[in-house]
Structure 1
Amino acid sequence: MRSSRPVDRLTFRSLSRSATRRRSLAAAGAATALALALTACGSSDDSSSSMPGMDHGAKSSASPSTSQAMGDMPGMEHAATGNGLSATQDGYRLSAKDSTLPSGEPTAYRFAVTGPDGKAVTRFALDQTKRMHFYAIRSDLTGFQHLHPAMAADGTWTAGLASLAPGSWRVFASFTPAAGSGKGQDFVLSRTVSVPGSAAKNPLPAPARSTQVDGYTVTVKGEPMAGMAHPLTVSVAKDGKPVTDLQPYLDTYAHLTAFHEGDAAFAHLHPTTKVTGDHGGPDLAFHAELPTPGNWRLFLQFRTGGTLHTAALTLRAG
C-alpha cells in the first residue's frame, strides 16, 4: 500500500501537466480564432479603405464625392481626370495632326479620340446637352475659347477656333464615352499647339472677388481649399441690382471652368442650381474641386437676352 502513493503522486503530476498544456493550447486556439475573426471583419471595403496604411489600389467604398475629390489630388491614381494635362488616359487618346496653328485668323482644329482598341471613338454620351466640350487657353491664361465641335461619321471632330494670338496654347477635349471600357467615365484630355509670331506674355490679374463684363458685375463667394470639395456661390448683378433673368445655357444658368496658373491644369466646376426657366439668378451654386493650390483663372459663361457673356477673374486656392 505504501508503494502506491508515489505512483499516485506521479500520476497526479502528469495529469496536472497535461491539463495545463490543454488549457494553454485552448487559449492559443481561441486567440488565433479571435484574430482571424477580427481580420475577416476588418477586410470589408469600408474598414480597409478608411484605415491608414491600407492599400487603396482596389475599389474604394467611399462616397462618389469623396472618391472624386481623392482622384483629383496630385499623385492619386486618377490625377489625369482632374487636371487634363495628358493626351492619354486609360487607353483613350486625343489625336491630332496639327501641332502649329496660324495666328490672327479663324482656323479649324481637327482631332479624334481613339479608344483602347486603337480605333476612333464615335459614340459619346451627352454632357450638359453636348457630346464634346472643347476648350482652348493660352499659356498665360488669356484667349479662352469654349466650343462644341461637330463630328464626322469617321470620328473626326472639327473645332472652329476664333483668331489665336501668337504663343503656346493648350487645347482640351472633355467627353464621356457611351460604349467600350470607358463607358460612363468622364475624360479630359489635352494637347499643346503653337501659334507663330511675337508672343507677349500678359501678367495674370491679381486674385479678386468680383469682375465686370458687358455691364454685369460677377461676384464669387467661397474659400476653396486645394484637393477638397468646396461650395462656391456666384452672384450676378447689373447697375447695382440683382439679376434674375438668366437664361439656361448648357442645361444650367452658368458654366464655370478654371485653369491653374503655370501649367494650365483644368478644373470643371459643376453647377448645382436647378434650372426652372428663363429667370435664373442672382445666386448660383457650384461644386468646386481645385486639385492644386495657387492661382486659378475662372471663366464664367452665362446668357441673358439671347447673348452669351464670359466673365473672367482670378481666385486663389489655399
Structure 2
Amino acid sequence: MRTLRPALLAASAATCALLLGLTACGGGSSTTAGQAHGHAPASSPESRTSPTASMPSKPSMPSTPSTNGMDGMDGMDGMDAPASANGLSADRDGYRLVSPDARLPSGAPATYRFSVTAPDGGPLTAFALDQTQRMHFYAVRSDLTGFQHVHPGMAKDGTWTARLAALAPGAWRFFASFTPDAGPGKGTDVVLSRTVTVPGAASSPVPLPAPKTSATVDGYTVTVKGDVMAGMAGMAHPLAVTVTRNGRPVTDLQPYLGTYAHLTAFHAGDLAFAHLHPTTAVNGDHGGPELAFHAELPTAGDWRLFLQFRTQGTLHTAALTLRAG
C-alpha cells in the first residue's frame, strides 16, 4: 500500500470525484475467505489488532484489463507476468518475491512462506514502517470473491510467514507491499506478487456485482459521493465516503493502521493493484462520518475495492465496485 506521490497529490486538485458503486458484504471477524461477492472474507486476527500509528502510503499503477474470471490470471502455479508497476510481477527494480509455495491446501488455515531478494542478490531484511507495518500482504482470488489482508512476521534470515484463513479452491494472486529501508532502493515503494493454485473443485467464476452508490455491511451503510470522470483515468481525484448506522452519522470510527479506513483496489480480470490514499486526519476514536481519499486508478474499467474500518474493536470489510472512466 503506497501513499500518493507529490505529483499525484497536485493532480488531486481536480474538482470532480469518481463515482463508486458499492455492494454489500459481510466483513468483520465472522466471515470466511473465498466466499461469494455477497460475503466478504475475514481479515486475520493480526489485522484486527494492529497498532495505530504512522502515516498512510502510496498506490502502485494498475494495468490493462483482461477477461474477468478464473482464467484471467497471468501464469499459474507460481509463474508470473513481466515486470511492471502494477504489482503483477514477482520482479521489479532488482527486487524479487521468492516462495517455495506454488500450491496451498483448501478448507483449512494455510501458511505461505516467502522472502524478498535485493538487487545485490541477497535477502532483504531491512524494511521501513508503512502504516504501522513493515509488510502488507494480500491474498486475492481471481474472480475477486476472496480477499485477505494480513501482516506476516519475518525471521532473522528474511523469511516471511503469512498465516491465512481457509482458501477456496481456485486461482489466487498473493501480493507483498513494502518499502526497503536499505540499499539502492531505500525509500522506494514496491508491490510484488506471485500466483498460487488452491486445488479442489473450484466453483464457477462469480460475475462482478453492478456498481451502486451505497451498501450496508454489518449494519453500517457506506455511501460514496462524486461524479463519473469519463476519460480521466490515470489522474488522482478526490473521493468522499460517508458512514452511517440506522440513518445516523457514525462518529466512533477507531484508527486502523494509522488511519480511519484502509482502501485497496484490484482491477477486474488481471487483478492489477492500487491503494487509495486516505487524507482524513486521525483524532482518537472519533472518526467519521465523512472520510476523504485520493483515488488514482489509471486504467479504465471495473475495479473491486475493499474498504476496511474499525468500530468498538471490530474490523469491518466492505466490498465496493467502481467503474473508472
- Name the TM tier (shorter chain): 0.7 to 0.9
| Alpha carbons 2:128, 2:180 under 8 Å: kept | yes
Per the alignment, residue 129 of structure 1 pairs with 132
* Residue equivalent to 1:12: none
1:98 counterpart = 2:41? no
In the alignment, is residue 64 of structure 1 matched against residue 10 of structure 2?
A: no
Matched, 1:141 2:144: yes
SS in 2 for 1:273: coil
Q: What percentage of aligned pairs have identical amino acids?
A: 72
The residue that corresponds to 2:157 in the other structure is 154
SS class of match (2:8): helix
- Counterparts of 1:27-42 in structure 2, within 5 Å, are none
Give CA-to-partner distance per residue, 1:116-161, whole Å, 9 cap, x none: 1111100000000000000010000111100000000000000001
Contact 2:62/2:87, CA 8 A, preserved across alignment: no
Q: Give the Å deviation of 1:291.
A: 1.9
What SS class does the counterpart of residue 113 from structure 1 fall into?
Answer: strand
Note if contact 1:270-1:288 (Cα within 8 Å) is conserved in structure 2: yes
Give secondary structure in 2 for the equivalent of 1:64: helix
TM-score norm. by structure 2 comes to: 0.74
Query: 1:24 is matched with which residue?
Result: none
Q: Residue 65 of structure 1 aligns to a residue in which SS?
A: helix
Higher CA-based Rg: 1
Structure 1 residues 270 and 303: alpha-carbon distance in aligned structure 2, compared to 1, 3 A threshold:
same
CA distance, structure 1, for counterparts of residue 213 and residue 143 of structure 2 = 20
Q: Deviations 1:149-190 (Å, cap 9, x if unpaired)? A: 000000000000100001000000000000111100100100
Residue of structure 1 in register with 2:259 after alignment: 252
CA shift for structure 1 position 212? 1.4
Partner of 2:225: 221
Q: Does 1 or 2 have the higher relative contact order (CA < 8 Å, sep 6+)?
A: 2
Q: Is the 8 A contact 1:73 1:227 kept in 2?
A: no
3-state DSSP of counterpart to 2:192: strand
Counterpart CA distance in 1 for 2:176 and 2:238 is: 25
1:191 aligns with 2:194: yes
SS of equivalent residue, structure 1 residue 80? coil
Q: 1:284 to 1:266 in 2, by over 3 A?
A: same
**Total equivalences in the alignment:** 252
Match of 2:287? 280
Which of the residues 109, 112, 115 maps onto 1:112? 115
Q: Compare the two structures and name the one with the higher helix fraction.
A: 1
The one-letter code sitting in structure 1 at the alignment partner of 2:8 is S
The aligned counterpart of 1:261 is 268
Q: 1:73 to 1:174 in 2, by over 3 A?
A: closer
The answer for the alignment partner of 1:306 in structure 2 is 313
**TM-score, normalising length from structure 1?**
0.76
Secondary structure of residue in 1 paired with 2:253: coil
Distance of aligned partners of 1:67 and 1:217 in 2 relative to their CA distance in 1, 3 Å threshold: closer
Alpha-carbon distance in structure 2 between the residues aligned to 1:68 and 1:93: 31
Instruction: Tell me whether 1:209 sits opposite 2:152 in the alignment.
Output: no
**Conservation of the 8 A alpha-carbon contact between 1:93 and 1:189:** yes
Q: Which amino acid in 1 is paired with 2:287?
A: G
Matches within 5 A, 1:65-84: 65=8, 72=61, 80-81=84-85, 83-84=86-87
Question: What are the ranges of 5 or more consecutive residues in structure 1 without an aligned counterpart?
Answer: 1-61
